[in-house]
């Protein structure tokens, strides 16, 4: 069982580490997205560099990176193939996010993990994700900045976990997701406070 868990954790990280933003942008434009715009491989920077169509594709693919490993764990538990401990599905989900943010294929550079977090959390925390996306849309509409919306999304994930009195492992997972998104947005926070953030 330990070997199976180790394989699934590694597979989740490697799936998350596939840099779709880098791959599709290079294929479409010939540009290295790590050297363009904010240097981020996420859909927001892809939109700036390669356009809305490619950005949408990247957004969906990044969400699927998070959704697929979690779905596999749920199916394994439901079918009785494996009986993973309660915490394991959250560990797999978070490893996928780590893969996206620190991709071994890009020398541990990567994205900020918002879309991958949403994909990874959709099946284990659907209400939390719905609340977070709603707040994201509201904040982005008012302030116009994607980064501000993403920061609000992260805080909402954690706040909804506390308000809904989520289980221990889910709450720990949401706290780590929130912290990771906030840490990855530190440069954006600095630019927001200095008035230099880009839309």
What's the pLDDT band for 81 if we cut at 50, 70, 90? confident
Give the other-Cβ count within 10 Å of 194's Cβ: 8
**Residue ranges of the alpha helices (H) in 52-194?**
52-79, 88-101, 114-121, 126-143, 146-163, 168-184, 186-194
Q: Are 34 and 53 in contact (CB under 8 A)?
A: no
**For range 42-64, the mean pLDDT:** 95
Q: Cα 18 vs. chain centroid, distance in angstroms?
A: 13
* CA atoms of 39 and 58, how far apart (whole Å): 15
Which residues lie across from 109 on neighbouring strands?
103
**For range 16-37, the mean pLDDT:** 95
Q: What is the pLDDT of residues 153-199, one digit of tens each?
A: 999 999 999 999 889 999 999 999 999 999 999 998 998 888 878 77
Which residue would you say has higher pLDDT here, 136 or 165?
Answer: 136
Domain ranges of the chain: 1-121, 125-199
**In this predicted structure, what is the pLDDT of residue 44?**
92
Give the other-Cβ count within 10 Å of 40's Cβ: 22
What does the block give as tokens for 180? 């990771």
What does the block give as tokens for 165? 């009195």
**For range 45-51, the mean pLDDT:** 93
**In this predicted structure, what is the pLDDT of residue 195?**
80
Quote the radius of gyration of the chain (alpha carbons, Å).
Answer: 17
What does the block give as tokens for 146? 């994607």
**In this predicted structure, what is the pLDDT of residue 194?**
86
Which residue would you say has higher pLDDT here, 69 or 165?
Answer: 69
What's the pLDDT band for 51 if we cut at 50, 70, 90? very high
């Amino acid at each position: 069982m330990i070997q199976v868990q180790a394989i699934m954790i590694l597979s989740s990280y490697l799936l998350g580490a596939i840099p779709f933003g880098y791959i599709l942008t290079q294929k479409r434009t010939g540009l290295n997205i790590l050297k363009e715009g904010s240097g981020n491989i996420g859909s927001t920077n892809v939109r700036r560099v390669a356009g809305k169509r490619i950005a949408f594709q990247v957004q969906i693919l990044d969400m699927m990176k998070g959704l697929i490993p979690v779905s596999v764990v749920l199916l394994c538990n439901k079918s009785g193939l494996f009986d993973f401990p309660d915490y394991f599905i959250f560990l797999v989900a978070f490893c996928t996010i780590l893969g996206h943010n620190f991709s071994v294929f890009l020398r541990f550079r990567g994205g900020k993990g918002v879309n991958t977090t949403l994909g990874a959390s959709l099946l284990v925390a659907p209400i939390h994700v719905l609340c977070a996306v709603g707040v994201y849309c509201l904040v982005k509409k008012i302030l116009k900045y994607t980064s501000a919306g993403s920061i609000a999304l992260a805080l909402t994930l954690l706040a909804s976990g506390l308000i809904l009195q989520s289980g221990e492992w889910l709450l720990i997972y949401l706290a780590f997701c929130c912290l990771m998104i906030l840490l990855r947005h530190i440069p954006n926070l600095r630019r927001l406070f200095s008035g230099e953030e880009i839309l």
